[in-house]
Amino acid sequence: MAKLYDTEKIRNIGFFGHRGSGKTSLAEALLYDTGVTTRLGSVEAKTSLFDYLEEEKSKGFSITSMPGWVEWKGTKINFLDTPGDLNFLGDSRNMLGVIDLAVFVISANDGVEVGTEILWEAADRKSIPRVILVNKCDCERSHASDMLAELKGTFRDAPVVALQLPIGKATQFEGVVDLMSMRSFKFSSDGSGAFEEGDVPSDMESEVAEAREALMYKIAESDEDLEMKLLEEGELNQEDMNAGLGAAIKGGKLYPILFGSATANIGMKALLDLCVDFGPNPLERAPVRAFNEKDEEVLVECSKDGEFAGIFFKTILSRVGKFGIFRVFRGFVDSSIDVSNTTQDSHGRLGSLLQFQGKDSIPMERAVTGDLVGVAKLKSSHAGDSISSSKDKLRFDLIQRPAPLIAYALKCDDEDKTVQALQRLAEEDLSLVLGRDSNSHELLLKGQGQGHIDVIVDRLEHEFGQKVELSLPTVAYKETIRSSVKNVEGKLKKQSGGRGQYGVCFIDMKPAEEGAGFVFEDAIVGGTIPKQYIPAVEKGIQEASTRGVLAGFPTIDFHVRLFDGKTHNVDSSEQAFKMAGSFAFKNAVAKCKPVLLEPYVRLEVTVPSEFQGEISGDLNRRRGRIEETTYRGKNVTISAKVPKGEVLTYANQLISMTEGRGVFSVEFSHYDQVPPLQQKQILEQVNAGKEE
């Protein structure tokens, strides 16, 4: 049974950063340093407790967030090891909502990369306190000593400051100087984490003194009383420094920088010390936004008092069942308490509580405010669902389903089984979206990139035995008109023995305002078309407009004025006038200069600045219109509006252009007319497909 901790003795942290920065290795080092494991787990050796999926082992990086915990100085530190690959950042962004301190892991080899910047901006939006760990300081190409300048240049509006300085460079890296205690710590090379404490190296005294002063001033800037004391006395004592550092970190007024190597187990205990001594406990978290039963926005204090309230933030699928992991924001919970899923409006008991350590778990007796806890036999609850025992039925909105960036049409042997399998995977992976196109009726699989889709297809086969074929989805083109026409006849006259079919209508047609769709005007006077048949004419036009005259795409933004018609006392009917309306539409559109419209998307691409020219040129070749270019650190973000048909495979091509170092977001923008040359090509492709 898991040990119980008071809320004040709990810390919730998450590891964030670009792929390959060493987050999972950091998690393994913490387990080893606290005695949870007896040897360092390794991503390369496939012995990690956290990267346990077959796809993670084969690819060598995390594809989903996994929880773990350690005890240090009598304090429980819950942590989340999150993905850094650009295909899986949606999961990482969601984890920011349930932790209290974000540890940004940055490789001293590679510096601040795109994935790190994206997650940093997400942490900014959520006002999450942060710590920076410069990892891999012992690697041959590392430039740990230059990282402070790079971090200040990249996060120039953020209060980043060194809490340590590295001793030695690259393969000669052997430890750190702690600027709070002004002591050096040189580590053993055997990976044990053992170290020797000593004085500041003589050749670093000037550098250390300067860095210590910078830290002191940064701490003082976060508190008016400390700032005044520093101005009056010229320095802060150790007690002031300690109190000021903790308050500054918790208030997001200072982001300390540590240096180390997770794989060599250098400097990891300093991170544990910082989390316990200076990191926020759950009660120090800012109030959390939620909605009550009346759908009113409320702020929920993270308090031990009050009835239980929490949110599921992660679903884990395994061979033995489905598990949900939730955070307690208020009160406590155990297996005897009845709870409501306020998102799904369901009720029941949670059942056995579990404490997860990667893929492994142990039972828990109860969960208190701030704890991260799992539950087995999960049926109706999913990631993002709120749970509560209170009458106000709180709903938190911390977990979001990211907008998809790429889509494929699926072909499968057994669609029902494939859909069921994908729905299960989508419970675990909120970045996965399954849908059906309303126009083409294709089954669509949508995700965050080619790598994401490839992993899902592999899991479909390995875990569910379902094979699928992928193809590019049909682009949802539309049609419209560019000129007007008057007095167009639509006529149905059919006589084949017995009662016939007769209906005649006359219409004017003209373009409508953009976004108007289909506008119908009834201008019949004198009863030339009886009132009961006028809706039939409108319906005939509306149905015919879903199959345009150019290529069968829906026609939009047109105005029809029905002003005359003819009827027959015996042979007229609603069906006859419906057909007459359809014929009138087709005859009129053909005379109104019909054109093809294509969807445009707003594409935002973030890449290292060295690729700016190639990306801009490529967007121009795709008929894109670049609207804005912004710079941050060594990366650049380019915003453009591009035809959707030109970026169906953009995820793959961006990888090729940027060596996998670029990321993009996409959202629908508008419809615009297809240029004549492209329209001709599209119509030829559509007609060829019809012939086949």
**pLDDT per position as a tens digit, 172-230:** 999 999 999 999 999 998 888 889 999 999 999 999 999 999 999 999 998 999 999 98
- 491 Cβ neighbours under 8 A, 6+ residues apart: 503, 504, 505, 580, 583
State residue 499's pLDDT score: 76
What is the dotted CATH code of the domain comprising 483-592?
A: 3.30.230.10
Q: Is the pLDDT of residue 544 over 60?
A: yes
Confidence of residue 538 (pLDDT cuts 50, 70, 90): very high
Structure tokens at 140: 């041959």
Q: Strand 101-107 relative to strand 10-16: parallel, antiparallel, unpaired?
A: parallel
Higher pLDDT among residues 55 and 6, named by residue: 6
For 375-396, what is each residue's pLDDT tens digit? Answer: 986 677 889 999 998 777 899 9
pLDDT grade, residue 95 (50/70/90)?
Answer: very high
Report angle CA 681, 682, 687 to the nearest 5 degrees.
Answer: 100
| Mean pLDDT along residues 302-320 | 87
Q: Quick one: fold of 288-396?
A: Elongation Factor Tu (Ef-tu); domain 3 (2.40.30)
pLDDT at residue 652, rounded to an integer: 86
Question: Taking 90 as the threshold, does the pLDDT of residue 292 lie above it?
Answer: no
Q: Per-residue pLDDT averaged across 624-628, rounded?
A: 96
CATH 3.30.230.10 boundaries in the chain = 483-592
Rounded mean pLDDT of 81-101?
Answer: 93
pLDDT in tens, 329-375: 999 998 888 888 898 888 877 888 999 998 788 999 999 999 999 99
Q: State the pLDDT at residue 360.
A: 84
Query: Of all helices (H) and strands (E), which one includes residue 104?
Result: strand 101-107
Three-state DSSP state, 129: coil
Helices then strands, counting H and E runs in the chain, come out as: 16, 37
Q: Residue 690 has what pLDDT?
A: 61
For residue 630, what pLDDT is reported? 92
| Span 429-456, average pLDDT | 90
The residue with greater pLDDT, 52 or 89, is 89
Question: CA torsion 219→164→21→54, rounded to 10°?
Answer: -100
User: Stretch 556-560: mean pLDDT, rounded?
Assistant: 97
In which residue are the tokens 């419809």 written? 671
Q: Please say if the pLDDT value at position 140 is more than 60.
A: yes
Q: Specify the pLDDT at position 306.
A: 87
Instruction: Please tell me the predicted confidence (pLDDT) of residue 646.
Output: 92
State the pLDDT at residue 144.
Answer: 78
Domain 8-284 CATH (choose: 3.40.630.30, 3.40.190.10, 3.40.50.300, 3.40.50.720): 3.40.50.300
CA distance 24 to 44: 11
Q: Is the C-alpha dihedral spanning 412, 415, 417, 422 positive or negative? A: positive
pLDDT at 308 over 60: yes
* Distance separating alpha carbons of residues 487 and 523, to the nearest angstrom: 13
pLDDT of residue 611: 94
% of the chain residues with pLDDT over 90: 68
The pLDDT confidence band at residue 689, using thresholds 50, 70 and 90, is low
How much is the pLDDT for 691?
57
Q: Residues of the chain with pLDDT > 70: what percent?
A: 98
**pLDDT of the residue at 378:** 65
Q: Looking at the domain that runs over 599-691, which CATH code has it been given?
A: 3.30.70.240
Range list for CATH 3.30.70.870 in the chain: 406-471
Nearest-angstrom CA–CA distance, 630 and 390: 47
Enter the pTM of the model: 0.84
pLDDT score of 543 more than 90: yes
- Residues of the chain within CATH 2.40.30.10 domain(s) are 288-396
For residues 148-162, average pLDDT = 89
pLDDT for res 546: 92
Q: For CATH 3.30.70.240, list the domain ranges present in the chain.
A: 599-691
Residue-wise pLDDT for 487-500, tens only, equals: 999 999 987 666 78
pLDDT on residue 644: 93
* Integer Cα distance of 185 and 175 in angstroms: 5
Q: How remote is the C-alpha of 376 from its chain's centroid? A: 26
The mean pLDDT of the chain is 91
Residue 637 has pLDDT above 70, yes or no: yes
Query: Which has the minimum average pLDDT: 139-153, 414-428, 553-567?
Result: 139-153
Phi and psi dihedrals of 381, rounded to 5? Answer: -100, 140
Residue 45, judged by CB atoms within 10 A of its CB (0-12, 13-18, 19+), counts as exposed
For residue 295, the model assigns a pLDDT of 87
Asked if CATH classification 3.30.70.870 holds for the domain at 406-471, the reply, yes or no, is: yes
The SS3 of residue 690 is: helix
